[in-house]
Every structure is written in C-alpha cells, then in structure tokens.
Amino acid sequence: MPLRILHGINKLKTALKRGCLAAVRQPHLIKGTNNMNKNRIYPRYFAYGALIIYFVFFFLPGLIGVGYSFTDWSAYSDELHYVGFQNFKTVFSADENYMKIITNTLEFTLITTILKNVIGLILALLLTKSIRLLNMHRGIVFMPSVLSTLIIGMIFKSILDPKSGLLNSFFRSIGLDMLAQKWLVSSELAFGSVMAVDIWRGVGYIMTILIAGILSISSDYYEAAAIDGAGGWKKFWYITFPLILPTLATTTVLNVIYGLKVFDMVYALTNGGPGKATTEVLYTAVFKKFGTGQYAVGTALSSVMFVIMIIVGMYMIRVMTKNEVVE
C-alpha cells in the first residue's frame, strides 16, 4: 500500500517537473510576463501618500507612546519628567504582577492558537464532506464569530455561574455533580474557562478560512491517491495537510495577533480576576493603568507588548517565507 502511494506522489512530482520544463523550453512566455509586470510598476511617489498617513497616524503615535514610557506621565499632574527606565523596572519588578500578566498573555496566545487551528481544521475537514445540511452546519459553527464578544462574555458568565448556570445545572440534572465546577471564580479553572469560551467563539472563523483552503485543492490529487489505494488518513497527511499549510500559516498569524491583543473576552468574563491577576492579560492591565491615571506605566506595558509583537512577528515572517522563492 505505501508503495502505491509513493508511486502516486512520484507521478505528481513528475507532472510538476514537466510543467517547469515546459516553462524552461518556452522562455518567451516568462519573459513576456516579466515585461508586462515591469510596465505595470507605478512610480514611487504613488506610495508617498499612504506612507505619510501611516507614519503620522500609526508609526509616530507608537514612537511617542514609547517615549512617554520613559516619563512620569500621569493624570494627577500636568508636569512631565524624564524618569529613565523606572517604569520598566516597575513592570519587571518581582513585587509586581506584570510578569504574570505577560506570561498569561503568551500562554493565552499559544494555547488558543493551537487549539483553534486543530479544532478548526477538524471541523473544516468534516464540513467539506458531502453531508446533509452542510451549509447549515457551517453556519452554526461560524455564528459565534459574528456575535459581539462582550455579549458572548455576558452570556457565558451566566452559563458558567457555579450555582445557577446552565452548564452546572445540566451536570447536576444528569447526576454528574462532580463535574459542576466554579468555572470562572476558581483560580485553577478561570483561565482555562476564559480560553475555552474564546476558542468556542473563534474556531468557526478559522474553520471557514480552512474550508476555503481545502476546497482550493484540486480533486485530481485525491482521485490519483484513491486509485493508488490511499485511505482517508494518508490522503490527509500526504495531500491535504501539505497543501493547506500556507492557509494554516495565515490562520496562525491571525490567531497570534488576536491572542496578544485579547481584551474584550477577558474583560467581559472575569475582568482579570478572580484574585489579583488570575486571568489578567496585557491589554486589560493597560486599560486599568490608564483607568487609574497611571499613563506612564500603561505606556511602558504597551511598549513591552510592542517589543514582544515585533519579536513574534519577525519570527513568524521568517518561518512563513522560508520556502518562498525570490526571483
């Protein structure tokens, strides 16, 4: 059986090679395309408007924000003094909770990204089969993504209420009392519960993107593999998965950016609690610092976040562009 599959894959490789050879044998086709592209390159000054807008409204405020993190800017005083790395010392001080907040944010990002991708992929594979009421199923899974996160948060706060919530009432009604937990108010379960609700909300969106990716794979590959006797798992592992990797990279980027910037779900469900910072993430902490008028510490936290995002972003770009061919 594996030999047959290898044979099929070799056939694919051969077909790809033939395509490349054809291009080599007919260079005028490629040359013509290049000339066309060259003619279509617009003058550089066309980009100046967009660059100026981006610089003034995005880049400059970001720089100013970083600058403020070296001052004692607060709502209590109109004066501004340079304090060096004082705010960053506070952020990284062992007496403070900020390191836990940064860890929480990274943990949230990592876990939700992995689980959203895995569950989204499983759902996408299931919902690209010929099943009854396919669009209805897709619609149901996608629906949470279009609802307001705050509304979802408030609904789940009620569902997860330990005393009268729907979930615990259900467990009690079927005799599984031991599963009835303090989902949002216990320090062991709160963060997991928040992540679970967020995964439930976001998985439909990821699934939709992956469905588009799966549907773009030509059925010829599956037919060839089927002729060679490949089963469902082999088809997935040798055809679907490699060809959907670029789509998975896109969903990963989307999830990572969302995870690092998460605010509303945590705000609505626990507001950072229970306790001091059980579910606190960077943006809820920044929001609270601005709320109490401690702008400088807030901007320092934002700057730390900025650096983390740059590092993560650069790493992801490097990984994603590793296999790209530069002309």
Site residues (CB under 8 A) for other proteins? 72, 74-77, 79, 95, 161-163, 182, 184-187, 267, 271-278, 287-288, 290-295
What tokens does 1 get?
């059986």
Q: Which is nearer to other proteins, 7 or 276 (CB)?
A: 276
Q: State how far the Cα of 165 lies from the Cα of 185, in Å rounded to an integer.
A: 13
The alpha-helical segments, DSSP class H, found in the chain are: 2-25, 27-39, 48-54, 60-68, 86-91, 98-126, 134-146, 149-159, 166-173, 190-215, 219-227, 232-235, 241-260, 264-269, 282-291, 295-320
Neighbouring CB atoms inside 10 A of 283's CB total 20
Q: What's the 3-state SS for 156-198?
A: HHHHCCCCCCHHHHHHHHCCCHHHCCCCCCCCCCHHHHHHHHH
> Residue 148 Cβ, how far from other proteins at the closest point, in Å?
15
Min. distance of Cβ 146 from other proteins in angstroms?
Answer: 21
Cα–Cα distance, 286 to 302 (Å, whole number): 7
In whole angstroms, the minimum distance from the beta carbon of 106 to other proteins comes to 20
Instruction: Assess whether the previous peptide bond of 61 is cis (omega < 30° from 0).
Output: no
> 184 vs 301, which CB is nearer to other proteins?
184
Output 128 or 299, the one with its CB closest to other proteins: 299
CB of 171 to other proteins, least distance (A): 15
Instruction: Compare residues 145 and 271 and give the one whose CB is closer to other proteins.
Output: 271
Question: Least distance (Å) from other proteins to the CB of residue 277?
Answer: 8
d(CA 149, CA 156): 10
CA-based R_g, the chain, Å: 26
Nearer to other proteins, 142 or 295 (CB): 295
Nearer of residues 11 and 81 to other proteins, judged by Cβ = 81
**What minimum distance in Å lies between the beta carbon of 72 and other proteins?**
7
